[in-house]
Amino acid sequence: MSDSKQPEDKVKKVYVGTGFHWGLAAVLLLIVLVAVATAQNTGDVVFKFLWADWTIPLFVVILVVVVASVVLVETAGWLWRRRRRRLLTDRDELHRLRSDVTKPKVPITMPEPAPTELPPGESDLPPEDEAF
């Protein structure tokens, strides 16, 4: 009976969902709500910016605000995911490098110090004091 365990670094994570995408449902609901709001608000409004005045339909203002909001939110999400991926990649690389350092590939052995020989008549002991 052989033990066929894989190293922890080689285990692939698999995420399983329910098949229902809440994000897609929220987007579809938002599209329906924006469509109803634009259909009910077809009147003209005066749009003032600095020295300019424009008369434009209200549904155009609603659509511009919705599109600008989606672009801003998606850009922020993209930036957050990009940063998160970089941090996770750096963390995995650091973990890999640390494990490489703690597990030497070649056993490290320290050589035994060579015995030192003193010339005849000399001692490695300190000289004795004759005053005592």
Residue 128 inside a domain? The answer is no
36 close to 62: Cβ distance less than 8 angstroms: no
Task: Output the pLDDT for position 112.
Answer: 78
Residue 129 inside a domain? The answer is no
37 close to 58: Cβ distance less than 8 angstroms: no
Max Cα separation, the chain?
Answer: 117
- Phi, psi (5° rounding) for residue 56? -135, 155
Number of domains present in the structure of the chain:
1
Task: Output the pLDDT for position 58.
Answer: 86
Task: Output the pLDDT for position 125.
Answer: 65
Residue 49 inside a domain? The answer is yes
Residue 13 inside a domain? The answer is no
126 - beta bridge partners? none
Residue 113 inside a domain? The answer is no
CB atoms within 10 A of CB 63: 14
Task: Output the pLDDT for position 95.
Answer: 85
Statement: residue 1 has pLDDT above 50: no
Q: Which residue do the tokens 């008369």 mark?
A: 55
pLDDT band, very low/low/confident/very high, at 121 (cuts 50, 70, 90): low
Structural domain harbouring 64: 20-102
Residue 38 inside a domain? The answer is yes
Residue 12 inside a domain? The answer is no
In terms of pLDDT, which residue wins out, 60 or 129?
Answer: 60
pTM above 0.75, yes or no: no
The burial class, CB within 10 Å (0-12 / 13-18 / 19+), for 131 is exposed
Task: Output the pLDDT for position 119.
Answer: 67
